[in-house]
Structure 1
Amino acid sequence: MEIHTIVDPIRIRRAVLGFSGWPDAGKTIQQTFSELNKVLPCRAAAEWDLDGFWHTESSRPLISVRHGQIKSMDWPTYRFSLCNSPDAEPILVGMGPEPTIHWRPFARKFIRTLKGWGCEEIILLGSVYDEVFHDEILLTGIVNDSQGYNQVQALGCRQIEYTGPGAIHAVLMEYASKSQMRALSIWSHFPSYLNAPHELLIARLLHAIGTILDVEFKTDHLSQIWERRQKEIEELIENELELRQAMETQKEPGFFQPPVQPSAKVIEIDEFLRRRRERRADKE
């Protein structure tokens, strides 16, 4: 399907891009973009109906049924927005589902479209499940030139050694390099046992984006929310023997582990919160 432009012409130099699904552990990237949209004035710029880049084994359209009638159908779509900052140049922000088939044709069209809009640099965001603790903040970076290497080093991102399943980010970076477009990819590592948002990771991603784009994002509210959540998590770890034992069996941090179903020893936070609320209700 063709990309439908809402703003014409689109002229930008930089783009910040993300994908939902496999490369968005804990929905960290979706939440990061949501926070970004709250800070920067953004408007819809273009939409890409991803027909031909997904199949029903991994993705399906969302339908809304009211009183037995289908009222709407939302097909997998990649959406671009133009965001403006008073102190910096406009940036293009893109978010949508990761394609499940035909990655190379998708990447060719994606990069060709961005080049047509004048884009010279893309920043790809991703999040992966990893064997890290909730109080560890781990960002890793993948780059395609020495400037990108210096950028991710300055941000405190680790460089990785990895062999395993990849995300669409890698293909986009390959085609960006072929088109003489700068590209770097920043990944947050999400605790595999945590079944709740990680506001501190979101704040760190916003800081990284802001540093690269020379835009300041206020993240105090995210830190405050995380402080309350962390206190609750620590209380659970202290008071629940099963959870404490599960935490103690966690391995040293690995890199880019694919999402897995939690083992019997890994306890999801939401389950513990529910059980604690039920116990308190019984006591009352």
Structure 2
Amino acid sequence: RAPTPHLPHDFLIVKGIEPSMRWRSFCDELLDLADDYEVSMVVTLGALLADSPHSRPIVVTGSGAHPDVASRLGVEISRYEGPTGIIGVLQDATYKRGIDAVSLWASVPHYVSTPPCPKASLALVNALEDFLEISIAQGDLPERSSSWEKQVDQLASEDLEVGEYVKQLEKSKDESDFPTMTGDAIAREVERYLRRNPEF
């Protein structure tokens, strides 16, 4: 439990590895704990592999399993159909208990899929800050993110095939994202800066 005296609520943080079986029991235990602490919202964080270049900002998407929750919290309605992981099961179980549930997902470049990916972690922290309108201490995460990107740059420069593939992804990403900075994106960056620097 993370007390936050400057906010109207505390945070209950759960970190772990996805269990390989007994998902319903696992979710029931987590949600019993959530009930004990009177949790009003569950936010899950995860990563998925994507055709995205490591040299561009990591895209984070948010989704809610049920239309009313997604609409109220300003995220997309999850339209995924198919095999699911523990996040999908937990999100559904959370909704059935009457607790709001949202998932934030970072798109990790599939050609460097071995964890950890500090750049994705940093993108998730930033997205969580924006979603909850809070400031989260980042420690050395920005430095580790930068170091990770430089290591992947080095890998791409040493392997001609990987380097060419990354260039194709960059070109595709740049063409689809132009123009990248909308008014909303600029406003989010300013709000995030002001939350981290309250003296301004």
Alpha-carbon distance between aligned partners in 2 of 1:200 and 1:216, rounded to the nearest angstrom: 18
1:184 to 84, 97, 102: 102
Alpha-carbon distance between aligned partners in 1 of 2:167 and 2:133, rounded to the nearest angstrom: 40
1:209 to 116, 123, 128: 128
| TM-score of the superposed pair, with normalisation by structure 1 | 0.50
Query: Structure 1 residues 219 and 93, CA, compared in 2 at 3 Å: closer, same or farther?
Result: closer
1:142 to 36, 59, 63: 63
Deviations 1:192-226 (A, max 9, x none): 22146433322221122233444312448433333
Q: 1:175 corresponds to which residue?
A: 93
**Contact residue 49 and residue 108 of structure 2 kept, 8 A:** yes
The CA deviation at 1:92 is 0.6
Counterpart residue type for residue 166 of structure 1 = T
Counterpart residue type for residue 47 of structure 2 = S
Equivalent residues in 2 for 1:119-138, closer than 5 Å? 119-136=39-56, 137-138=58-59
- Which of 1 and 2 has greater Rg? 1
Unaligned runs of 5+ in 2: 174-200
Alpha-carbon distance between aligned partners in 2 of 1:172 and 1:236, rounded to the nearest angstrom: 37
Query: Structure 1 residues 163 and 95, CA, compared in 2 at 3 Å: closer, same or farther?
Result: same
Counting matched residue pairs gives: 168
Higher helix proportion: 2
Q: 1:166 corresponds to which residue?
A: 84
- 3-state SS, counterpart of residue 205 of structure 1: helix
Alpha-carbon distance between aligned partners in 1 of 2:131 and 2:167, rounded to the nearest angstrom: 37
| TM-score of the superposed pair, with normalisation by structure 2 | 0.67
Alpha-carbon distance between aligned partners in 1 of 2:32 and 2:120, rounded to the nearest angstrom: 32
RMSD of aligned residue pairs (Cα, Å): 3.1
The CA deviation at 1:150 is 5.5
Alpha-carbon distance between aligned partners in 2 of 1:173 and 1:94, rounded to the nearest angstrom: 14
Range with bigger deviation, 241-250 or 170-179: 241-250
The percentage of aligned residue pairs carrying the same residue is 21
